[in-house]
Structure 1
Amino acid sequence: MKRIFILSLVAIFLLNCKNESQLNADFNPAFVHSVYIWLKDPGSAEDRAAFELSMQTFMNNSLYAKTKFLGTPPKATREIVDDSYTYNLIVTFTSAEDQDKYQKEEAHLRFIEESEHLWEKVLIYDAIGLEED
C-alpha cells in the first residue's frame, strides 16, 4: 500500500514537471492578467458547464492572449490561502498594448456577454514582469 502511494506521488510529480516545463515554455511575463471569478451558484453543474464552454470558446479564439490557464482552487490548507473563488483565469500578453486590444476583441466581449449573468464577483490583478539583469 505504501509503495503504491509513493509510486503515485512520483507519477504526479513527473506529470507536473512536464506540464510546468510546457507552461514555462509558453509563459510570457511581459504582461500577466490574473482573473478571479466567483459564480453566483457555484454548486450548479449547469452554470459551471455553461461558463466553462464559453470560457473555452473564448480561449480558443483570442487573438492576443498567449498563455491561457483556467483553474479551480484546491482546498486551502493554510489560513493565508484564499480558496473562496470558483475559477481562476491567467492570461499573458506580449505587451500592455496587446492586453488593451484583448479587452476590445470580439472573443473577449462575447465571453463577457455570454457569462456575466453567471458571476457575482470578479477581481482582476494585472502585473508586468521584472526585467532580468
Structure 2
Amino acid sequence: MNENSEIQDVELAVSRWLRVGVIISAAVIILGLILLFIQGGSGYPDNFYPHSLSDIFNGTVQFKPYAVITTGLILLILTPVLRVAISIWVFVREGDKLYVIITSIVLIILIISFILGKA
C-alpha cells in the first residue's frame, strides 16, 4: 500500500467519524426537542438550568429536555475536537513533527478555552 493511499484511507476514516459525531449529536438534540414538546417544559423549575457536566449528565439520564439538548450541543462541539486529536495521531504516524507540534498546540488551546470558558 502506498503512502497516498494510506493518507486517503485515514482521511476517509476521519471524515466518517466527523459525520457520525454530527449525526449522533443531531439525533440527541432532536430527542431533546421531542421531549420538550411532549413534556411542555425544560424539565427544570423556573430560572434553573444545569451548568455543570454532572448536572447535565444527571438531567440527561432523567430525560430532562434541556439537559438532553445541552448534551447534544456538547457532543457537537466535541466532534471537531476529536478531529484535531485524530490529526495528531495521523501526523505522528506520518512522522511529520512540525504538524504534530502545531496540531498539539491547537488541541491545548481548545482544551484551555473549554476550561477558561467554564470559569
* TM-score bin, normalised by smaller chain: 0.3 to 0.5
TM-score (normalised: structure 1)? 0.34
Structure of higher CA gyration radius:
2
Q: Name the structure with the higher strand share.
A: 1
Q: What is the TM-score when the length of structure 2 is the normalising length? A: 0.37
Higher relative contact order (CA 8 A, sep 6+): 1
